[in-house]
Structure 1
Amino acid sequence: MNWIAWMIVACEIGFWVVIALGLAVRYGLGKERLGLFILALTPLVDLVLLAVTSVDLYRGATATMAHALAAVYIGVSIAFGKGMIRWADDKFLYYVKKQPLAKKPKLYGMAYARSYAKGWFKHVFAYLIGAGLLLAMIFFVGDASRTGALERAMLQWAVVLGIDLLITVSFFVWPKRSKSASS
């Protein structure tokens, strides 16, 4: 595994360390505003990853899938980050503070389809961010012989986004039913 792949791993770990630190300060020390500030720093981890990847390419490296994954990671982190932090916040309250989890109602039918569609739109947002970063890196490098992996990653992600769209549409055509309604 090349060093960029290790940087992605380190940044993913850093992302969750910042979240854990923010939650610990927020609930463990009772400093809600400081904890919220620390949680708001999670995009800085993404910026570090983007900077490291860009510098590596600028120094003459040939782009690999790891370079592309840095852009994908940033897009996903920005689009889904708020939900991931909310999830971690809920789990922290449940496991550490022993507060009950809020029961979310199970969704079926059109309500489930609309909820899934909202997730698909977040996926589109992540793709637009990631693809924009990939295009910027391709432009930044300016050498098509060194950026093929970035173009392939963008195309592969577009295929995944298309498959996700088909799944989304399928929930509108064939709504999800509860187990009791389907028997």
Structure 2
Amino acid sequence: MPPTSETLTAERILEATEDVLRRHGPAKATVVDVARALGVSHGSVYRHFRTKAALREAVTKRWLDRTTEELAGIVAATDRDPQTRLRDWLAALLEAKRRKAGDDPELFATYSVLAADAGEVVGAHLTELTDQLTEIVRAGVAAGTFTTPDPATTARALFHATGRFHDPGYAREWERPEVWDDFAAVVDMLVRGLRA
């Protein structure tokens, strides 16, 4: 094991875990592999993450949070009209998922497996996404752009109606040339339905 000069942090462990998962996949990757990649003992990794399951949940959360953080900027752009923010948020979600699936297919496949085991982490991620959508819909109602009696229910409906464009189960479809045309047609229909 090579000596490490950097302080061992949770972030360094998560970065190394991603590399190990990319190389070995979720079935074969171990905490010992992560420790070896960092040049530390596996006990050092366990000081930060008490179990292998906790490490896997943390790395899954980190991966999902990248998307949430990217979308948060669109939600926060309150100087833009809500209809544009809604369209941009949905498009950014599709693009983020397409990038993850296309740029690093091994890691995308790995996270699909890990996400199935990290129910609470995935549930929290989905709640965070629908909360972001709710904020945009509420802003639209406040501006008189959208009409809906319940922005939270509407946000969940929007999320489910566009699932084909962000649910990992549809990843193979995202590379089809007509995916953006299909996406635009669905979003246009949804926005028309929300207009006051």
TM-score over 0.5 for the alignment? Answer: no
TM-score after normalising by structure 1 = 0.33
TM norm structure 2: 0.31
Higher relative CO (Cα under 8 Å, sequence separation at least 6) belongs to 1
